[in-house]
Amino acid sequence: MTIGGAGVMVLGALLAGVVAVLLALVLRRWLGTTSAVAVAGLVWSLVGIALVTLVPTRPDVGFVPAESRSESCSWDYGGPSGAAFEVFGLDQRTLNVLLFVPAGLFLVLAVARGWYGVVLAPLGLLALAAYSLGIELVQLQLARLDRACDVTDVVDNVLGAGIGFLLGVLLLPLTRPWRGRRTAH
């Protein structure tokens, strides 16, 4: 039995979206609407990233023998596929950047409830970079995925997280997540 393809990714993203909405509804009581939506959005975007990067691109991949997989990550900046992979007229590099923008944005809004956000936000950005690296290492180790480990993907993902981070900072005065509900101590 093989599982993969865009349909599986979309179905997974929709199911994760339903769970994220339910999470936001539960958290809203304690965090306020803005922070609850931001936390749920961050969780949803992390699951979406995992689906897009760790589900095989085609359902017919079948078994990929371990001996045929790459033994190391590509350090060739620009990547093995580059513009060869396109969706909606966007190349793989652009898609990799766009994939991490929501995570960076939701991260800032999720931790901006207090002074601790000044520390947590940069640490979260580092965690997003580590998440990207971890995905690439999983792609390297699991031949079944028929994916390639590539340093360009990490650079593009971190760029996307950074762009989202800056957008989140710019949205802070509009969203004001610190005005949400606080739990009694």
Each residue of 8-23: pLDDT tens digit? 999 999 999 999 999 9
Lookup: tokens for 7: 């349909």
- How far are the Cα atoms of 6, 19, 85, 139 from residue 59, in angstroms, in the given order? 9, 25, 17, 16
Best CA proximity match to 76, nearest among 152, 153, 147? 152
The domain spans of the chain are: 6-179
Pick the closest to residue 104 from 153, 55, 170, 53 (CA basis).
170
What average pLDDT score do residues 69-98 get? 74
Predicted TM-score of the model (pTM) = 0.86
The pLDDT, as a whole number, for residue 184 is 47
